[in-house]
C-alpha cells in the first residue's frame, strides 16, 4: 500500500497562518501573562498579526502575478479574487481590533469584566472594582478573521463547512461579552448560535445532496456532474442541493427571510463586535457565495433565478421599509445592513463575470464605514447623576450631538452619506459600479428596485443627520447624554475610516483597479 501525502502550498497560506498563529498566541497570553498587562499585550499582538499578514499578502500578490493562480491545498484556491477578498477582510479586521481595544476617558470599554460573572451579582461587582476586562475577545477575533480569509478561497463543500464554523464559533462567545446590558448580550449570543446552527444544518444537507449526485465535494466535479447526465437525471436533487447550500450562506449575510434575529444580535452584542460581524461576516459570506455561484451554480442560474430574485427583492424592500420605523440606532443600522445585502445580491445573481470587482469594492467601502460608525456609537453614553453609564443607542440620544461633539457628528455624517450613496463618498461609487454591472448582466429591473430602495433608505440616514445638527440636545440641560473621549484607538479607527471613505469616493480607481 502506498500513501500519497497532500501537497500544500504553505507560502500561499502564509497570510492566513499569521492571523491564526496570532490567535493561538493570544490564547497563551491569557494563560501566562498577568491580568494587568493582558490588554496592552493582546492589542499589540493582534495589531502586529494583522499588519504582518498584510505584508505577507502583498508578497503573495507579487508572486501570483509571476506564477498565476494555483491550488494551495485541497479545497483552497489562490487567485486574484481570493487575495482581493483577504485584503478587504484584513482592512476590516485591523479597524475592528482598534475599536475593540479602546478604553474611554472613564477607563471602561465595551466588554464585561468577566463574561462568566452573573449579571448584577457580587462577583461581577468585584470584577468591575478590580478593573478587569475580557481580553479573550482578541484571540477569538483573530481566529474568526482567519476563517473569514479562507471563505473566499474555499472550493469544496467540506472546506466551506469547516471555514463556516471557524468564522462562527468565536463570534458566539464574543456576542456574550457586553459590559452593559448583560442579559441582552446573553440573549444575542444565544440567538446568534441558533442562527448559526440553522445555517450549518442547511449547508450540510445541501452538501449531502450534491455529494449524492456527483460523488465528490469539490466544486469542479460537482459542476461537471450537474451539466452531465447525472444532472439531467436527478434534476430535483441538484436544485435542492444548490438551493440549500445557498440558504446556508444567505443566513450569514442576513438576507430575507433568513435575517430573523439578526437585528437582535446587532443590538445586544458589544458594539465593536457588532461592527466586526456586520462588516466582516457579511463580506466573507458574500465572497464564499460568489465563488460557489460562479463555479457551481453559474450554468444553472436560470433555474435558480426565481428563488434568488425573490430573495434579493425581499431583502432590499424589507430592509429599507423596516429600517425607516426603527427608533434604535443599532437596529436601524441592522436593517440598513439587510438592505445592503440585497444590493450586493444583485451582483451575485446577474450573469456577468465583471461583477467580481464591483462586489469586492462594495464590501470594502461598506465594511470600512460600518466599523467606523459602530466605533462612534460606542462613545455615545447615558449619564445619570453625573456618572457615565451604558451606550445611548436610541435615536433621541443623538439630538444635538453636533453641539456636544462636532467631530463625532461630522464623522458619523460622512458614514451615513456613504451608506445613502451620496456623491463624493465611497458608497456612491460602490453603488454605481455595482448597479452598472447588474445592468450589463441583464438585471436591469433588479437595479431599478435597488435604486428605489436606496432612495427611500436615504430618509432614515438623513433623519439621523437632522437630529444631530438641527435639534437641541435632549433634556433640560442637555446633559443626559454624553460623548466620552476615546483614549486613541477609536479615534484612530474612525479617522482612518473617514479618510478612506472620502478618498475612495473621489479617487475610486485607487482601489477598484486592484480588484479588476
What pLDDT digit, counting tens, does each position of 144-163 carry? 999 999 998 888 999 999 99
- The pLDDT mean for the chain works out to 85
Please report the pLDDT score of residue 190 as a whole number. Answer: 92
Which cell numbers in the block locate residue 73? 491545498
pLDDT over 70 percentage in the chain: 90
The length of the chain, given as a count of residues: 516
Residue 232 confidence (pLDDT) above 60: no
The most confident of 178-187, 225-234, 424-433, by mean pLDDT:
424-433
Residue 23 confidence (pLDDT) above 90: yes
Q: Furthest-apart CA pair in the chain: how many Å? A: 84
* pLDDT average, residue stretch 494-498: 93
User: Residues 370, 278: contact at Cβ < 8 Å?
Assistant: yes
* pLDDT average, residue stretch 346-361: 83
Please report the pLDDT score of residue 476 as a whole number. Answer: 47
Cβ-based burial of 200 (10 A; exposed 0-12, middle 13-18, buried ≥19): middle
129-137 own/partner pairs: CB under 8 Å, 24+ apart: 131/107, 132/35, 133/39, 133/109, 134/177, 135/29, 135/30, 135/38, 135/39, 135/42, 136/30, 136/173, 136/177, 137/100, 137/111, 137/174, 137/177, 137/270, 137/273
Lowest mean pLDDT, pick from 2-11, 130-139, 308-317, 417-426: 2-11
Residue written as grid cell 461537471 = 224
Angstrom distance (rounded) from CA 304 to CA 285: 19
- pLDDT confidence tier of residue 180, bands split at 50, 70 and 90: confident
Of 377 and 482, the structure prediction assigns the larger pLDDT to 377
Lowest mean pLDDT, pick from 86-100, 339-353, 408-422: 339-353
* pLDDT average, residue stretch 380-400: 74
Please report the pLDDT score of residue 229 as a whole number. Answer: 57
Q: In this predicted model, what pLDDT tens digit does every residue of 44-94 receive, in sequence order?
A: 999 999 999 999 999 988 887 777 676 776 678 888 888 999 999 999 999
Please report the pLDDT score of residue 97 as a whole number. Answer: 93
Residue 73: strand pairing partners: 76
Residue 182 confidence (pLDDT) above 90: no
- pLDDT confidence tier of residue 4, bands split at 50, 70 and 90: low
Please report the pLDDT score of residue 479 as a whole number. Answer: 52
pTM of the entire structure?
A: 0.93
Residue 111: strand pairing partners: 178
Of 257 and 128, the structure prediction assigns the larger pLDDT to 257
Residue spans per domain, the chain: 31-515
Angstrom distance (rounded) from CA 288 to CA 298: 14
Which cell numbers in the block locate residue 147? 476563517
Angstrom distance (rounded) from CA 304 to CA 247: 12
Which cell numbers in the block locate residue 32? 501566562
Q: In this predicted model, what pLDDT tens digit does every residue of 167-179 receive, in sequence order?
A: 999 999 999 888 8
Please report the pLDDT score of residue 340 as a whole number. Answer: 92
Please report the pLDDT score of residue 477 as a whole number. Answer: 47
User: Residues 19, 142: contact at Cβ < 8 Å?
Assistant: yes
Question: How many CB atoms lie under 10 A from the CB of residue 510?
Answer: 11
Question: How many CB atoms lie under 10 A from the CB of residue 25?
Answer: 17
41: alpha, beta or left? (left if phi > 0; alpha if psi -120 to 50): alpha
Please report the pLDDT score of residue 386 as a whole number. Answer: 59
User: Residues 482, 383: contact at Cβ < 8 Å?
Assistant: yes
Angstrom distance (rounded) from CA 462 to CA 510: 28
Please report the pLDDT score of residue 273 as a whole number. Answer: 92
Angstrom distance (rounded) from CA 70 to CA 77: 6
Of 449 and 260, the structure prediction assigns the larger pLDDT to 449
Residue written as grid cell 449619564 = 383
Which cell numbers in the block locate residue 59? 508578497
- pLDDT confidence tier of residue 316, bands split at 50, 70 and 90: very high
- pLDDT confidence tier of residue 3, bands split at 50, 70 and 90: low
Please report the pLDDT score of residue 231 as a whole number. Answer: 53
Residue 127 confidence (pLDDT) above 80: no
- pLDDT confidence tier of residue 384, bands split at 50, 70 and 90: low
Dump the DSSP string for 192-216.
Answer: HHHHHHHHHHHHHHHHHHHHHHHS-
Amino acid at each position: 500500500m502506498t500513501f500519497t501525502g497532500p501537497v500544500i502550498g504553505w507560502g500561499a497560506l502564509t497570510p492566513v497562518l499569521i492571523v491564526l498563529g496570532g490567535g493561538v498566541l493570544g490564547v497563551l497570553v491569557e494563560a501566562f501573562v498577568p491580568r494587568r498587562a493582558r490588554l496592552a499585550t493582546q492589542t499589540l499582538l493582534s495589531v502586529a498579526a494583522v499588519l504582518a499578514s498584510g505584508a505577507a499578502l502583498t508578497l503573495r500578490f507579487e508572486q501570483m502575478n509571476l506564477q498565476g493562480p494555483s491550488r494551495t491545498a485541497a479545497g483552497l484556491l489562490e487567485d486574484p479574487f481570493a487575495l482581493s477578498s483577504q485584503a478587504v477582510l484584513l482592512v476590516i479586521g485591523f479597524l475592528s481590533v482598534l475599536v475593540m481595544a479602546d478604553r474611554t476617558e472613564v477607563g471602561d470599554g465595551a466588554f464585561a469584566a468577566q463574561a462568566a460573572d452573573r449579571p448584577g451579582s457580587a462577583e461581577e461587582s468585584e470584577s468591575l472594582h478590580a478593573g478587569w476586562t475580557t481580553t479573550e475577545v482578541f484571540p477569538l477575533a483573530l481566529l474568526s478573521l482567519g476563517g473569514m480569509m479562507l471563505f473566499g478561497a474555499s472550493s469544496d463543500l467540506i472546506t466551506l463547512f469547516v471555514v463556516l464554523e471557524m468564522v462562527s464559533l468565536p463570534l458566539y462567545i464574543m456576542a456574550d461579552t457586553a459590559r452593559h446590558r448583560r442579559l441582552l448580550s446573553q440573549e444575542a449570543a444565544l440567538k446568534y448560535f441558533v442562527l448559526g446552527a440553522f445555517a450549518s444544518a442547511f449547508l450540510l444537507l445541501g452538501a449531502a445532496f450534491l455529494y449524492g449526485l456527483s460523488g465528490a465535494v469539490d466544486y469542479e466535479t460537482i459542476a461537471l456532474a450537474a451539466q452531465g447526465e447525472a444532472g439531467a437525471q436527478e434534476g430535483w436533487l441538484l436544485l435542492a442541493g444548490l438551493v440549500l447550500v445557498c440558504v446556508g450562506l444567505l443566513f450569514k449575510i442576513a438576507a430575507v427571510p433568513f435575517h430573523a434575529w439578526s437585528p437582535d444580535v446587532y443590538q445586544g452584542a458589544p458594539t465593536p463586535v457588532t461592527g466586526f460581524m456586520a462588516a466582516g461576516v457579511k463580506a466573507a459570506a458574500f465572497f464564499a457565495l460568489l465563488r460557489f455561484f460562479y463555479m457551481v451554480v453559474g450554468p444553472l442560474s436560470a433555474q435558480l433565478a426565481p428563488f434568488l430574485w425573490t430573495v434579493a427583492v425581499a431583502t432590499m424592500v424589507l430592509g429599507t421599509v423596516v429600517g425607516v420605523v426603527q427608533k434604535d440606532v443599532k437596529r436601524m443600522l441592522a436593517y440598513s445592513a439587510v438592505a445592503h445585502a440585497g444590493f450586493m445580491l444583485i451582483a451575485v445573481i446577474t450573469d456577468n463575470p465583471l461583477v467580481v470587482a464591483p462586489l469586492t469594492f462594495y464590501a470594502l467601502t461598506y465594511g470600512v464605514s460600518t466599523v467606523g460608525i459602530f466605533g462612534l456609537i460606542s462613545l455615545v453614553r447615558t449619564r445619570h447623576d453625573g456618572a457615565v453609564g451604558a451606550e445611548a443607542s436610541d435615536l433621541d440620544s443623538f439630538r444635538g450631538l453636533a453641539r456636544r461633539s462636532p467631530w463625532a457628528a461630522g464623522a458619523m455624517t460622512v458614514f451615513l452619506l456613504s451608506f445613502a450613496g451620496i456623491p463624493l463618498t465611497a458608497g456612491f461609487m460602490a453603488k454605481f459600479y455595482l448597479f452598472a454591472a447588474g445592468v450589463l448582466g441583464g438585471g436591469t429591473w433588479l437595479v431599478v428596485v435597488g435604486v428605489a430602495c436606496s432612495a427611500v433608505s436615504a430618509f432614515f440616514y438623513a433623519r439621523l443627520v437632522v437630529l444631530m445638527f438641527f435639534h437641541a440636545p435632549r433634556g433640560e440641560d442637555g446633559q443626559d447624554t454624553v460623548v466620552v473621549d476615546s483614549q486613541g484607538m477609536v479615534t484612530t479607527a474612525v479617522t482612518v475610516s473617514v479618510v478612506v471613505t472620502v478618498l475612495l469616493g473621489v479617487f475610486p480607481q485607487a482601489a477598484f483597479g486592484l480588484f479588476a
